[in-house]
Amino acid sequence: ENILMADDDFLYFLNGQLSLAVGPIAEVLIEDEIVNMDHDILKFPASKAAELVEMLAMTIEHEEKRSVFKLNMLNKLKEKGY
């Protein structure tokens, strides 16, 4: 069965958006969360992308930044069809 994987564009955007909210630790947070979900950043299923966004949003303490992150990521998920 062919599983759709999250592409580099999505992951790059995710990293950029999370970096705006939490700074340079974003990359580490993303990698850790993907490992926690028992996946690999190089082959992360698109079907789990929304769940990943939710988990990462919880790491953003600043409410306004969290809202902006979620909104921008939701738009990206829709654009990608994930």
Q: What is the pLDDT of residues 38-76, one digit of tens each?
A: 999 899 999 999 999 999 999 999 999 999 999 999 999
Confirm if 14 and 73 have CB atoms less than 8 A apart: yes
Residue 3, pLDDT > 80, answer: yes
Give 1's pLDDT tier (boundaries 50, 70, 90): low
As a whole number of angstroms, the distance between CA 4 and CA 20 comes to 27
As a whole number of angstroms, the distance between CA 33 and CA 79 comes to 23
pLDDT at site 48: 97
As a whole number of angstroms, the distance between CA 15 and CA 8 comes to 10
As a whole number of angstroms, the distance between CA 48 and CA 65 comes to 22
Residues in the chain, how many? 82
Whether the model clears a pTM of 0.75, i.e. scores above it, the answer is yes
